Amino acid sequence: MSNSITCMEKKTCIAMVPSPGLSHLIPLVEFAKLLLQNHNEYHITFLIPTLGPLTPSMQSILNTLPPNMNFIVLPQVNIEDLPHNLDPATQMKLIVKHSIPFLYEEVKSLLSKTRLVALVFSMFSTDAHDVAKHFNLLSYLFFSSGAVLFSLFLTIPNLDEAASTQFLGSSYETVNIPGFSIPLHIKELPDPFICERSSDAYKSILDVCQKLSLFDGVIMNTFTDLEPEVIRVLQDREKPSVYPVGPMIRNESNNEANMSMCLRWLENQQPSSVLFVSFGSGGTLSQDQLNELAFGLELSGHKFLWVVRAPSKNSSSAYFSGQNNDPLEYLPNGFLERTKENGLVVASWAPQVEILGHGSIGGFLSHCGWSSTLESVVNGVPLIAWPLFAEQRMNAKLLTDVLKVAVRPKVDDETGIIKQEEVAKAIKRIMKGDESFEIRKKIKELSVGAATVLSEHGSSRKALSSLALKWQQYTC
């Protein structure tokens, strides 16, 4: 299935292969828009691997692509061909792997009609790298996270080779990431690296890491002011070439649910007085942690706007399954009544882009996903770091210990929960006082830097132009 637009003969064509799922499609579309905004001599075609019909959200994004973009949905992979009970990363990799014959045919077709010069892959589409090489096309990885994580990915194969036990954590207590000034404890690494080395999750991510040096370049959603030393180290390497072209953030939210209610409420608040509390598009807390967070918000006495999701023992549960229960039913008895003068609580979703850009927001209690991190930095909003899974612990370390634009509440050693007193203390640190002033000053400087790198002579604009020129000059 495809839309009707075809690549135009005169334009250089770039094909992009997202990993399955909305969260991998959106960053690639945002990058494609940025590219065309500055270099409209290109045409972009998305080649989309899938296990089933597109979700309404994906369909909506694809159906509203600008004129210089089109999409082709590859034939569905047969679910019977995939092992059962796979972790999400392994499943995504296998869907792409089983889609390679379809991808091969579509690339062959594009080459017969267009001047196709490069394939751009998402992280879990790396198995399709050979398609680019078969047709003598340039191959690029689009890395939607930060440079620190990419530097770790380049480091992991060496650690794995030297490890003597079935767990990396048994061989190493800390890991030094080139360009990152602070050693990371093994428990701060993304979850798959903490798994047994024989697990599917570990083997999948290790395979991704081992393929990185095969690419002609890596396009990163980061910028020099945010991760200067790591980017410098990466750019000193011979291969792959690194192009930090960020920060790329959405200009508007994809969903308007609760939009008018949130913005109307914020209009009635004082400048920089409100703490926004959200754990991204799918992060969840346990019932005990939900209670402590609620009591901590109440105890702090500060204004807050909280996006509440139904509790779960799995901190990423809402990413992979929708939630039908009313989240507000899980709040402590009387909480909504007691805090109605200070807080606004909304169920499941809020327009984060618009909220973080509002003048009433003075702080952001966040899970530290990379998109949320960039949105906070661009808008100059200080953070309370509350990582849940994936690379969020690394992002939290960058924000608190290196950039010093966030505070992090302490986890209780016995229960593994952040108690209400710690929550209230973190809120007070970020919202008022000398420490708050220093943090606010630092993140405002980063915000200015984020705008500068995207300006006409900024480093991210130059990186994008360098990449565009390479594509334009390439002859297959």
pLDDT for residue 126: 94
Q: Is residue 4 part of a domain?
A: no
CA–CA separation, 70 and 131 (whole Å): 20
pLDDT for residue 250: 85
pLDDT for residue 4: 42
CATH number where 270 lies: 3.40.50.2000
Pairing of strands 115-121, 138-143: parallel
Average pLDDT rounded to a whole number, residues 9-26: 87
* Amino acid residing at 471: W
Same domain, 53 and 95: yes
Q: In the Cβ-directed half-sphere of 205, how many Cα atoms lie within 13 Å?
A: 26
Same domain, 406 and 365: yes
The residue segments making up the domain with residue 393 are 259-451
pLDDT at 315 over 90: no
Same domain, 462 and 443: no
Phi, psi of 425 (to 5 degrees): -65, -45
Encode pLDDT of 55-112 as tens digits: 888 898 999 999 999 999 999 998 788 888 888 888 899 999 999 999 999 999 999 9
pLDDT confidence tier of residue 1, bands split at 50, 70 and 90: low
Same domain, 271 and 368: yes
Q: Is residue 398 part of a domain?
A: yes
Closest CA to 267 of 277, 256, 259: 259
- Backbone CA torsion sign across 37, 39, 41, 47: negative
Quote the mean pLDDT of the chain.
Answer: 92
Same domain, 327 and 240: no
Q: Is residue 303 part of a domain?
A: yes
Same domain, 62 and 102: yes
Same domain, 196 and 266: no
CA 187 to chain centroid: 20
Helix (H) or strand (E) holding 45: strand 42-48
Q: Is residue 349 part of a domain?
A: yes
- Strands of 303-360 (E only): list them: 303-308, 343-347
* Amino acid residing at 108: K
pLDDT confidence tier of residue 317, bands split at 50, 70 and 90: very low
Same domain, 192 and 308: no
pLDDT for residue 8: 47
pLDDT for residue 110: 95
Q: Check: CB of residue 385 under 8 Å from CB of residue 427.
A: no
Same domain, 265 and 390: yes
Tally of CB atoms within 10 A around 117: 21
Same domain, 324 and 385: yes
Same domain, 232 and 277: no
Q: Is residue 69 part of a domain?
A: yes
Q: Is residue 369 part of a domain?
A: yes
pLDDT for residue 207: 94
Encode pLDDT of 100-149 as tens digits: 999 999 999 999 999 999 999 999 999 999 999 999 999 999 999 999 99
Encode pLDDT of 218-263 as tens digits: 999 999 999 999 999 999 998 899 999 999 998 887 777 799 999 9
Q: Is residue 38 part of a domain?
A: yes
Q: Is residue 251 part of a domain?
A: no
Average pLDDT rounded to a whole number, residues 339-362: 96
Same domain, 185 and 327: no
Split into its structural domains, the chain has a count of: 2
